Amino acid sequence: MKRIAAKPLPPILLKVHESITTCERCPRLRLYCKGIGETKRRAYRDQTYWARPVAGFGDPNARVLILGLAPGAHGANRTGRPFTGDGAGYFMYPVLHDTGFASQAESFSKDDGLRLRDAWIASVVRCAPPGDKPTPQEIRECSAHLAAEIEQLQRVRVVVCLGKIAFDAYLAHLVAHGVIERRSDYRFAHGAHYRLPNGVYLLASYHPSLRNTNTGRLDRAMFTRIFVRARELAGLKN
């Protein structure tokens, strides 16, 4: 693939990111993330953990928004970039590379040179939660960060939700902003897609967690089809 140059973020999006990375709204999550960053995993003992809320990243002109659950305790909570340095990212970025969204297939650090084109990656919760299970209140507290990023990503035409929690949280965002009247009209299933009243497409996928990929619930071919479809719905050339 031709090398993708990093696009500078607009000043207002930089402010959104500052508000995310300095957030202290959820004491349980902040305590957990800081604790993980202090104890560390043996394999990363010599590394300095990010251990702060994780902002989204990618192309500010993205036509596809990829929405995950939360940073991994030893992934994004360590590296400071979504889906970077853990099993979910090692599964996802090769697919994004194959489908034209990522400049490379590897994702091991914030400074590894990986760039996104036509895509932005974020999560519904910005701090790693214990057991990968944020509380409903923590999801609500974090919703303002998602709304602020979405407001600045004005070219998005497709939202790919990875997993049911991300799917439900995005529906809650749509209800809160008057895009849809109720969530019950939209049901999660891998590969399900909906055209929303505002013209944006909602596309659902199983989350690329090790629980799903190691058991075969989600394989590479299934995941690749999601992003091929996302390109089609977004009107992007192959």
DSSP state of 92: H
- State both tokens at 43: 């394999």
For the domain spanning 11-234, the CATH number is 3.40.470.10
Average per-residue pLDDT for the chain? 96
**pLDDT the model gives residue 237:** 82
* pLDDT tens, position by position, 107-139: 999 999 999 999 999 999 999 999 999 999 999
With beta carbons less than 8 A apart as the criterion, state whether 140 and 216 touch: no
CA dist., res. 17 & res. 126, Å (int) = 11
List the chain residues with pLDDT less than 50: 1-2
Q: How many CB atoms lie within 10 A of CB 133?
A: 11
Q: Is the dihedral of CA 73, 77, 83, 86 positive or negative?
A: negative
CA dist., res. 42 & res. 183, Å (int) = 43
| Residue 220 CA from chain centroid, whole number | 18
**pLDDT the model gives residue 9:** 87
Output the DSSP codes for 127-193: SPPGGG---HHHHHHHHHHHHHHHHH-TT--EEEEESHHHHHHHHHHHHHTTS-S-GGG----TT-E
**pLDDT the model gives residue 134:** 97
pTM: 0.95
* pLDDT tens, position by position, 24-51: 999 999 999 999 999 999 999 999 999 9
With beta carbons less than 8 A apart as the criterion, state whether 66 and 160 touch: yes
Residue 204 bridge partners (DSSP): 161
H/E run at residue 204:
strand 201-205
